[in-house]
Amino acid sequence: MGTDHIQLLRLDPRGLKHVHPQARRSIFWEVAAADEALIRDSALEKEAWIVHAATTLGVCGFNLITPAETLGTILFCPPALAGGVSRLPSGPVPRRAMLLSSLFRTPHLGTAPVLIDAALMHLSRRGIETVQAFGWRASGREELDWVPERIGLMSEEELRAAGFEVVREHPVVPRLEIRLPPDTSVLAAAAMDTLSAELRC
């Protein structure tokens, strides 16, 4: 399968059908811990959040798809729309920054570089100057209170690879930041080629 069969789609209300299955079920970032127990249908809550965020921003993320499946979904929003940040020990995210909140992907595929780069390039074109994200640290994974894949928590390693740097230290979940615009367009092209090669295997 070549890269012409891999599509990167903006996430707006029309793109709901392409959201990664795990992203549909997780409301970790969207809802404060105190309110999560009140949610009866997490998928419906997530859909409503995406519609609201996309209406507010125009685009609130990206889906990476093939004709057969969604390989990954990345989401971003202003901190005010991410009530779940209150659970993170290295928060809060300042109002001046956009939050790259979560990335859900098919295991063992190199979708992260493609999706992170797409989000950063989009936000840069919108005039956003600062983007922050939380990343789990390899040395502290066993101490995490959550399974990263279930909540879309990115790793510190993949965020650093995209140009992020730590702005708030924490032994398990540091907070990272990147100033835009980044110089990653060449990396994105390489990432798409690598992803295409993996899909052919």
What would the pLDDT profile of 160-192 be if each residue is shown by its tens digit?
Answer: 999 999 999 999 999 999 999 875 554 455 555
What is the overall mean pLDDT for the chain? Answer: 89
Query: Which of 197 and 52 is assigned the larger pLDDT?
Result: 52
pLDDT at 93 over 50: yes
Write down the pLDDT at residue 33: 86
What would the pLDDT profile of 27-53 be if each residue is shown by its tens digit?
Answer: 999 999 888 888 999 999 999 999 999
| Distances from the Cα of 159 to the Cα of 20, 49, 142, 162, 196, angstroms | 20, 24, 19, 5, 21
pLDDT at 99 over 60: yes
What would the pLDDT profile of 118-142 be if each residue is shown by its tens digit?
Answer: 999 999 999 999 999 999 998 888 8
Percent of the chain whose predicted confidence (pLDDT) is above 90 = 77
Q: Which of 123, 115, 135 is nearest to 191 (CA)?
A: 115
Architecture of domain 3-200 in this structure: 3-Layer(aba) Sandwich (3.40)
Ranges of each domain in the chain: 3-200
DSSP code at position 84: G
pLDDT at 110 over 80: yes
**Is the Cβ–Cβ distance between 50 and 11 less than 8 Å?**
yes
Write down the pLDDT at residue 191: 56
pLDDT at 199 over 70: no
pLDDT at 108 over 80: no
* Cα–Cα distance, 116 to 73 (Å, whole number): 10
Percent of the chain whose predicted confidence (pLDDT) is above 70 = 88
The Cα angle at residue 115 between residues 138 and 162, in degrees rounded to 5: 50
* Position 138, amino acid: A
